[in-house]
Amino acid sequence: MALDEAAGAGHETVVRLLLENGADVNARNQRGQTALVWPARHGHDAVVRLLLEHGANIEAKDVNGWTALVKAIQRGHEAVVRLLLEHGANIEAKDDFGGTALVWAAGTGQKAIVRLLLEKGSDVETKSQSGGTVLFWAARGGHEAVVRLLLEEQRIDIEAREQLEGTALVSAARQGHEAVVRLLLEHGANIEAKDKYGQTAVVSAAQGGHEDVVRLLTP
């Protein structure tokens, strides 16, 4: 659709022209996406503002349950995230996998956005459908700065378990994220915790051939 294309490319004057000539600001494509998703995804905050001023539904979800807020977070566009929050975006809305804005920010390593969401009152104990916490997803992704922020500034359960991969420590070890494993151990993570299949962090690291992580986990 013309509005989607113009919005996604950041062409503010063209978007304004289309809206003034009757373009439906909330029309959806085959994936359930409205025009608002595209400038949010690409970081065009002026176009996001324009669409909102013309009645764009800030909570519209695509086929995955992702809102414009989530799309902006996935790409790390802090200015757009701030704008959407200022316009009342639901900070605790969940996608089809149970993920919230904070889950996505942590899982993609967006430290500044994680801090912003926490300042806005986002639930740090929220979990995805599989039981993965904000800490779990940050650790799994190897995002040391986010893991440190969560451990040092938040009261969070370091031993919370995701259904398949177990604790943050087990998952980080499996992925070979040495710095994250070290950080979790420094904060008292249980080295004997197991995943669904009974594997500990050291077994998971060994399976992946992560020698440095195995050394960390071996007394």
Locate the domains of the chain by residue range: 1-90, 91-219
Q: Let me know: does 17 contact 23? Beta carbons within 8 Å.
A: no
CATH of 91-219, one of 3.80.30.20, 1.25.40.20, 3.40.50.720, 1.20.1250.20: 1.25.40.20
Angle between helices 12-20 and 45-53 (to 10 degrees): 10
- The pair of structure tokens assigned to 29 is 């494509």
- Entry pTM: 0.94
Question: Do 1-90 and 91-219 come out as alike in CATH topology?
Answer: yes
Angle in degrees, CA 71, 73, 74, rounded to 5: 65
Q: Map tokens 């519209």 to a residue.
A: 60
Write out pLDDT tens, residues 43-72: 999 999 999 999 999 999 999 999 999 999
Cα pseudo-dihedral 189, 192, 198, 201, rounded to 10:
60
Class of domain 1-90: mainly alpha
For 167-215, the pLDDT digits (tens) are 999 999 999 999 999 999 999 999 999 999 999 999 999 999 999 999 9
Q: What is the pLDDT of residue 1?
A: 82
Q: How far is CA 87 from CA 26, 46, 57, 90, 113, in A?
A: 16, 13, 11, 9, 16
pLDDT of residue 199: 97
Instruction: Count, in order, helices (H) and strands (E) of the chain.
Output: 14, 0
Q: Which residues pair with 166 in a beta bridge?
A: 162
> What's the average model confidence in pLDDT over 80-107?
97
